[in-house]
Chains A and B, each alone.
Chain A
Amino acid sequence: MELDFLATLLLSSLSSAAILLIATVGLAVMFGLMGVINLAHGEFIMFGAYATLFATQIGIPYPLAIIFATIVTAIFGGIVELLIIRRLYGRIFDTLLATWGLSLVLYQSAVLIFGTVTPGIGLPISNIQIGDYSLSVYLLFLILVAVVLIGSLYWLLTKTSYGITARAAIQDRETASAVGVESARINTMTFALGSGLAGFAGAILLPAIPATPNMGFAFVIKAFLAVVAAGPVTLTGTVAVGSTLGMVGNITASFWTSVVGDIVFFLLTITILRIFPLGISGRWRMKL
């Protein structure tokens, strides 16, 4: 194999790992700080993508549209938490089923409102040349976005008062409420944060992945598996599992098809879970 091929493969694997991470962190945050798996996560990503599309169509420049979409999706998530998730507190499988219902409601609504085909975002896509191969600059840019995103999330959860109280609330709810942490409000904020991250994913990935009602599907298999394989130390675990498996999945996908990539990802995950039933971070000492 030639060097340029290897370099291209490495970079494209890194960027698909980055895409996976961007699409997964929202899910990981919700699971880590609330113990909730949001099966509508993929549709929240789609929500963000359509919000961005809407914003650009009314004349808002793309970078601002990303912020707009993130905020709108976060607000939407907050409303969902208040109306549905809050009532199912402590009933983890009912929460799962309710978000599953929500995912299909959102999907079908998108089909009704937008149809199955949508116009692209219309950003000029430039490529760089590596030997005989070319790579999209935007995909490389996404690697940077993923790093910055994870870094700022880490800062948010360790350095801000919201992050510290949220982590306190999940570790020991009773003690947290005894010292005045309002876990209900924290949960609303966490769900909104996770939703906002999903919305951000949909927005930032829009130039690479066009908005369609079923675009969420492209991520959810890998996103769910990554979070489950990561285990209790969700953020670090997801970064570790997501980037490793994301790259492996991409390499297999580039030799065969994306379906094979998904299957390999799935097989790797169940193998990991067979060895570490609680996920790879089951015995880690860190908490984030």
Chain B
Amino acid sequence: MKDSTSSISSLIRNFRLRSSDPSIFIALIFALTLAISSFWIDPYLAYVGTSWVIFGLLGLSLDLVWGRGGLLSLGQTSFYGIGGYVGSIAAINFAPLTGNSLIWALPFGAISGTILAALVGWFIFYGRMGSLQSTILTYTFTLIVWTITLSFTTEIGDAVVGGDNGMSNIPGFVLGFGEKASSLSPNMMFLTVVVISAIVYLIVAFIVRSPFGLVIDSIRLDAVKAELLGLDIRLFQTLMFMLAGAIAGIAGALFGAWANYLNPSIFSVQEALLVPIYVLVGGLGTLIGPFVGALTVGGLSFWLGGGVIGGQTTLVMGACLIVLVLFLRKGIVGGIQALFARIFDDLEAKDRLSQQTSQVRVNLNLLEKLQTSTNVQRDATLKTINTSKRFGGVLAVDSVSQNFAPGKVRCIIGPNGAGKSSYLKTCTGAYEPDSGTVLYSSQDITKINPFERVKLGLGIKMQTAQVFDELSVRQNLWIAGYGNGLNKERADQVSDEMLDVLNMREISTRQASTLSHGEQQWLDIGMVLCLAPSVILLDEPAAGMSKEEKRQLSELVRLMARTATVVVVDHDMDFVRTLDAEITVLHQGAVFAQAEIDELRKDERILDIYLGRRQSVTDF
């Protein structure tokens, strides 16, 4: 009985992880229903409904940026509006030549949205701007674009952009070619927009399931860790932002063709406010949610609206946003998914209990074999020359010069506040030193980004276990293998091998958040090993591990040190003792002593530092 439940649940779980989630099928059924309904619904409803689907497409662009990318952008309507204007200007001028209007409007809309998003994205992501700053920046960008367009007038060919008066004579939906081609009926227009939206959705859904999507997810979950896996997060985020800009641009071009008229109100705050409402009503991060949200909001105001809401849409929508944020975070699609998840999770929870006893047992023989087979640079060294880092009045790192080379484990110890972590961070690139140089072999890496250091061959494990919570164990390792070089085959192979090394094959489909603390540490170490680093920096790797786990870790570290440069920062002296390492003692930011452990134990001054005895501390 127990066996059968667990096999059923693992079947379900595997199904869910393979096809990720059923939302893509639900989306297709949803699109098909809309498409079929277009043949019999009332033409007026079809006409109004077309705009809801367009708004859903606009919502999709925000959902991608916000739900997947983790940036709340209040600027999607500016890409939408620019896409609308540029696409419509192209259609006004070129559609008379071909008949078909969409072949002009859509590409021009998409390209202009992409370019504008690239520009904004470059400032935000390449400037490494804080998330709140980014949101405010997108908001002010929207306001600025709005104020500019209010008074902006120009003539481009046959198109007249008339500031507040707007731009009219935008060709409608013409699919046929030649002079006789005419605009589609409302019902066919609805069908066309549903089909275009479904195609865009499918492309996005495909991208989200690709390695690119996995990278975007991992950046949202932990941007610092993603960068420590060698990923240029700025590039990926900008690309994601550009994709969203393209979608918004397409939506804008469709809107222009639908309304036959555009004015600056497309850029207004009232318009911008609707986008997060669609996303929140439908469900953040679900991709299909924005369409559900837009149709729900549109439908409600269509059937209930009229007299009640009348001209007070702004008031009602503003209040809606407050209520949504306060009480209904998951939205419609998110709510349904959570319901399903609860049913499955009960099964999974039982499953988990049966696995809880699984202990990590590292397969060192396999690791050793892998180490010798991969062609890692063998003699890479890490060197710092007079590195200093100051925080306000505190000299956290005081001209530390060290030369780390392979062969023997190197340890950095010191009491709390000695500057161990700060020093390590100048090596990883998290801090730029105020003075001094950091060298990787002979290359100066003092000023380069963390991901560039990782690409050179640095492997970094920070103090706390950093894993991507919502991703499975296998995905965590896969992304680590993928980050350096963006090679899928290598990622497949490396993550597969590492599952065996860590003995985690049985739990490979589990979400990392469900792992125990010790398991997360091992997974994190495994991710570092996936990079095949030639210089490995470990900050308190043994924290939170059992005695047996520490023993295994110690073996692993010594094994790695045979071929790679390994630096361990720790103050767990029992663990450090087992590493047979050369030890550097930091005190008040500076190198205090450097020797083998046995020598250090004879040194009274070291004891003084650790015990806080007065004499040597002040003498030094």
Contact = CB atoms under 8 A, between A and B. Distances in A.
Bound pair (A, B): yes
Interface of A: 37, 39, 84, 87-88, 92-94, 96-98, 100-105, 107-109, 112, 217, 220-221, 224-225, 227-228, 257, 259, 262-263, 266, 269-270, 273-274, 277-279, 285
Nearest to A111: B314
Contacts of B126: 274
Contact of B123 (A112, A274, A278): A274
A109 B315 contact: yes
B140 interface: yes
Interface string B270-310: 10010010001000000000000000000000000000000
A104 B127 contact: no
Contact of A98 (B133, B315, B321): B321
Contact of B137 (A100, A270, A285): A270
B358 to A, nearest CB: 34
A262 B322 CA distance: 29
Given A104-B269, A221-B144, A273 B137 contact: yes
Given A102-B322, A263-B148, A273-B127, A39 B315 contact: no
Which of A37, A93, A101, A285 has the largest number of chain B CB atoms within 10 A? A101
A257 B280 CA distance: 38
A224 B141 CA distance: 11
Given A104-B269, A224-B139, A263-B144, 18 more contacts: A37-B136, A93-B72, A93-B135, A94-B325, A96-B135, A97-B280, A98-B321, A98-B322, A101-B273, A101-B322, A102-B322, A103-B318, A221-B143, A225-B136, A225-B137, A269-B137, A273-B133, A285-B392
Given A101-B273, A104-B273, A266 B140 contact: yes
B317 interface: yes
B143 A270 contact: no
Given A273-B127, A274-B127, A285-B393, A98 B140 contact: no
Nearest to A270: B123
A245 to B, nearest CB: 13
Given A105-B319, A270-B137, A277 B130 contact: yes
Contact of A108 (B143, B280, B318, B393): B318
B151 interface: yes
A221 B137 CA distance: 9
A109 B137 CA distance: 27
B132 interface: yes
B325 A228 contact: no
B348 to A, nearest CB: 27
B318 A105 contact: yes
Contacts of B136: 37, 224-225, 227-228
B74 to A, nearest CB: 8
B567 to A, nearest CB: 28
Contacts of B137: 225, 228, 269-270, 273
Nearest to B128: A277
Contacts of A224: 136, 139-140
B337 interface: no
B321 A278 contact: no
B123 A220 contact: no
Contacts of A101: 273, 317-322, 325
B588 interface: no
Contacts of A93: 72, 131-132, 135
Contacts of A102: 318, 322
B477 to A, nearest CB: 31
B312 interface: yes
A279 B136 CA distance: 13
Contacts of A273: 123, 127, 129, 133, 137
Given A93-B72, A225-B140, A98 B326 contact: yes
A227 B270 CA distance: 23
A105 B72 contact: no
B326 A88 contact: yes
Which of B144, B270, B318 has the largest number of chain A CB atoms within 10 A? B318
B182 interface: no
A269 B127 CA distance: 12
B10 interface: no
Nearest to B393: A285
Given A96-B72, A277-B130, A285-B393, A104 B140 contact: no
B147 interface: yes
Interface string B225-251: 000000000000000000000000000
B317 A104 contact: yes
A84 to B, nearest CB: 6
